[in-house]
Amino acid sequence: MTSPRLDDTLVKQAIDWLVKLQSNRGNAAVFAACTAWRQADPRHELAWQRVSLMHGEMRENLHALPDNAQAAQVLQTTMQRTQKRRSLKLLTLAILAGSSTLIGREIAPWQQWIADYSTGIGERRSLTLADGSELFLNTDSAVDIRFDENRRLIVLNKGEIMVSSGPDAHSPHKRPLCVQTRDVLLEAIGTRFVVRLEDDATLLNMQQGKVAMTPSAFQSPQEVAEAGQHFLIHKDHLDLVQMPIEADGWTHGALIVKDMRLADFIAEVARYRQGYIKCDPSVAELRLSGVFQLDDTDKLLSLLPRRLPVAIHYKTRWWINVGRRASI
């Protein structure tokens, strides 16, 4: 028998209550409010039971790792990746260390419930928006689209996107095309550019045209980025930077790097696969150049010992160490 379909809003509410309970352990008022919500409608209780069941399954998947220390490390790393995502963050922590079967069955639908467009880890997606703009989503990314009569707004909540501005031919007047992150509002001026959310800043990589940048602490644009420039934008300032990576290579399924630190390269690869990859400090400063295909990260990692004096050690499918190759 097929279980009844739940409204997405109820699922989100159940997630929010679980997050509140996790964040306010022992708080009687929060517990009572959650209980009242569950009892208010049978559908609320059904949503709660399903969310709780899924959360339990995710937690159990941490046991796939050999010991508690490794489980804790994976959990910590995953938290750093997911802490900017809405209330789903507490539910996704454990599953990233779990089975690919469970990931395939659960994660994709849940992402669709919390963003207009999204991708899972290792997934890339392209689409054409109503104004004719092309939008590319990189791995583990989420955006909301907010078009109205005055502005075309893309809100980047997580991850990385590339935008190629469209003609907006069906609008009676030319509406500005903007991308907003927690750090900055970007206004495109007939352009193509890549925007990526870092832990404490937004990275803008210009491909074509120009983009006006207004960091969150300001009311007006502070500078205009031009083709070929790369800016690291904080809420109260921005810095012109150099990049050892081809910013839009991922749109072609490739990681294209030039003289990149191995530690930074491993961090890039980690964005495209489940679990945790550790780069040993003894090899962190080795340099790497080349074109690496992203569709098979295990194959990608297997190429590294051919180019550098390193060895790849799999503790589990989700726990990999990159260290120095033993001398013969």
- Sign of the alpha-carbon dihedral angle for 180, 185, 188, 191: negative
* Token pair belonging to 325: 């190759």
Segment 118-177, tens digit of pLDDT? 888 899 999 999 999 999 999 999 999 999 999 999 999 999 999 999 999 888 888 999
Helix residue ranges, H only, the chain: 8-23, 28-39, 42-60, 68-82, 89-92, 100-114, 262-270, 297-307
Angle between helical axes of 42-60 and 28-39 (0-180°, round to 10) = 120
At 280-297, the pLDDT tens digits run 999 999 999 999 999 999
**Domains within the chain, CATH numbers bracketed:** 8-114 (no CATH), 125-240 (2.60.120.1440), 253-324 (3.55.50.30)
Cα distance from N-terminal residue to C-terminal residue, the chain: 61
| Stretch among 79-83, 104-108, 168-172 having the lowest mean pLDDT | 104-108
52-56, 211-215, 227-231: segment of lowest average pLDDT: 52-56
What is the pLDDT averaged over residues 296-322?
Answer: 94
Q: Are strands 125-128 and 134-137 parallel, antiparallel or unpaired?
A: antiparallel
Q: How confident is the model at residue 102 (pLDDT cuts 50, 70, 90)?
A: very low
Instruction: State both tokens at 179.
Output: 């991308």
pLDDT at 91 over 80: no
CA distances from 75 to 36, 52, 72, 306, 316 (A): 32, 19, 5, 31, 15
Which of 44, 123, 116 has the alpha carbon at shortest distance from 86? 116
Around 36, how many Cα atoms within 13 Å sit in the side-chain half-sphere? 6
Residue 223, SS3?
strand
Interstrand relation of 117-118 and 142-147 (parallel, antiparallel or unpaired): antiparallel
